[in-house]
């Protein structure tokens, strides 16, 4: 399977976003993109035509005015139909710089600790007014970045916050419910250390040192603030990386398990099945079937 990690080149590094309008006539190329992923959250707004998007668990046919969101580092691909015209806006944004003190009660959910933001796509099909409001925000962000009027950085920041607020206030499934307040100075070095060391043995003693806490206090603090133990958080990150590698790397399952720091294959299989409701082999085969469709 062709796949890759897509580099996102920000138009403004301070804003950590890229927003662009794409137009396909259907004549220059057609078919599926390879599976790909990126750290940034992706929002899509279709302006003309029909745009087809796929994730490992769902397929979307987006018509004019339709919006969808793809979570951080989630595999996805699009399809361009031959002879079909389509125009759409794509916003890539790293949310981390927007986690200021006003956001910290909600950081756990926007960081996708438990579930990818893909789960919020129910909002756009259930509530047309949410889709319309988010679509308008995406248009405003695109206009501000394209024209770069004085103060556009402030405007874009406000629109990003508005976008998150719309999702938060309309989420009646409470996927984005408030949790414990989390200090960003505590969170950022811990998250970065875990992300950069998933292939290694992660010692909580080292992480607690980075957080400036004792081992015991860190363990209790993390679980209280994040809603899950530090060990479970690391395991979820390892399995998410393993899922991407099953698609992006032509390696054996044993090699992939080792690459995400899990030498015990029985434990790896148990965790993978718990989080994905299938074995690694079944996941890989399912992705191959999706690739052929």
pLDDT of 84-121, one tens digit each? 899 999 999 999 889 888 887 777 778 888 788 999 99
Does the pLDDT of residue 281 top 70, yes or no? yes
pLDDT averaged over every residue in the chain: 90
What is the token pair recorded at 199? Answer: 């292939």
C-alpha neighbours within 13 Å on the C-beta side of residue 57: 11
* Candidate from 19-28, 56-65, 217-226 with smallest mean pLDDT: 19-28
Distance of CA 171 to the CA centre of its chain: 17
The residue-averaged pLDDT of 50-58 equals: 91
Does the pLDDT of residue 68 top 70, yes or no? yes
pLDDT at 56 (0 to 100):
86
Does the pLDDT of residue 4 top 70, yes or no? no
The residue-averaged pLDDT of 55-63 equals: 92
What is the token pair recorded at 104? Answer: 């910290």
pLDDT at 289 (0 to 100):
73
Long-range contacts of 107-112 (CB under 8 A, 24+ apart): 107/182, 107/184, 107/187, 108/179, 108/180, 108/182, 108/225, 108/226, 108/227, 109/175, 109/176, 109/177, 109/179, 110/164, 110/176, 111/191, 112/71, 112/72
Does the pLDDT of residue 259 top 70, yes or no? yes
150 burial (CB, 10 Å; 0-12 / 13-18 / 19+) is: exposed
pLDDT at 31 (0 to 100):
62
- Cβ atoms of 95 and 113 closer than 8 Å: no
Does the pLDDT of residue 1 top 60, yes or no? no
pLDDT at 41 (0 to 100):
96
- Domains, in order of start, for the chain: 3-170 (2.60.120.280), 184-292 (1.10.10.60)
Packing angle of the helix pair 265-276, 280-292 (nearest 10 deg)? 50
Whole-angstrom distance, CA of residue 276 vs CA of residue 241: 13
pLDDT (tens digit, 9 = 90+) per residue, 171-221?
Answer: 999 888 766 677 777 788 898 899 999 999 999 999 999 999 999 999 999
Does the pLDDT of residue 150 top 70, yes or no? yes
pLDDT at 27 (0 to 100):
66
pLDDT at 213 (0 to 100):
93
pLDDT at 35 (0 to 100):
87
149 against 30, higher pLDDT: 149
Whole-angstrom distance, CA of residue 56 vs CA of residue 76: 7
Q: Which of 38-47, 205-214, 225-234: highest mean pLDDT?
A: 38-47
The residue-averaged pLDDT of 161-177 equals: 92
Whole-angstrom distance, CA of residue 210 vs CA of residue 189: 7
- For residue 176, which of 59, 65, 71 has the smallest C-alpha distance? 71
Does the pLDDT of residue 29 top 70, yes or no? no
Whole-angstrom distance, CA of residue 79 vs CA of residue 58: 14
Packing angle of the helix pair 215-226, 230-248 (nearest 10 deg)? 70
What is the token pair recorded at 291? Answer: 């690739």
- Dihedral (C-alpha) 42, 48, 52, 55: value to the nearest 10 degrees? 10
- For residue 280, which of 256, 262, 263 has the smallest C-alpha distance? 256
The residue-averaged pLDDT of 16-22 equals: 97
């Amino acid at each position: 399977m062709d796949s890759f990690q897509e580099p996102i080149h920000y138009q403004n590094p301070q804003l950590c976003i890229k927003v662009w309008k794409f137009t396909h006539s259907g004549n220059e190329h057609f078919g599926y993109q390879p599976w790909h992923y990126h750290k940034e959250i992706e929002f899509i707004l279709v302006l003309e035509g029909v745009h087809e998007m796929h994730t490992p668990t769902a397929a979307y046919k987006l018509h004019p005015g339709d919006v969808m969101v793809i979570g951080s580092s989630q595999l996805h691909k699009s399809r361009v139909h031959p002879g079909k015209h389509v125009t759409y806006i794509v916003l890539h944004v790293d949310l981390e710089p927007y986690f200021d003190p006003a956001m910290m009660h909600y950081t756990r959910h926007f960081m996708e600790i438990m579930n990818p933001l893909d789960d919020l796509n129910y909002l756009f099909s259930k509530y047309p007014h949410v889709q319309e409001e988010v679509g308008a925000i995406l248009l405003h962000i695109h206009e501000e970045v394209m024209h770069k009027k004085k103060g556009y950085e402030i405007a874009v920041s406000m629109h990003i916050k508005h976008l998150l607020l719309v999702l938060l206030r309309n989420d009646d499934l409470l996927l984005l419910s408030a949790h414990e307040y989390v200090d960003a100075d505590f969170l950022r070095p811990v998250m970065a250390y875990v992300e950069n060391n998933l292939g290694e043995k992660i010692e909580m003693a080292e992480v607690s040192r980075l957080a400036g806490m004792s081992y015991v206090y860190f363990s209790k603090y993390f679980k209280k603030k994040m809603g899950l133990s530090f060990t479970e958080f690391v395991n979820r990150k390892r399995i998410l990386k393993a899922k991407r590698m099953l698609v992006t790397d032509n390696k054996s399952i044993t090699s992939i398990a080792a690459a995400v720091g899990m030498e015990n294959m029985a434990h790896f299989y148990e965790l993978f099945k718990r989080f994905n409701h299938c074995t690694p082999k079944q996941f890989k085969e399912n992705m191959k079937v999706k690739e052929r469709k």
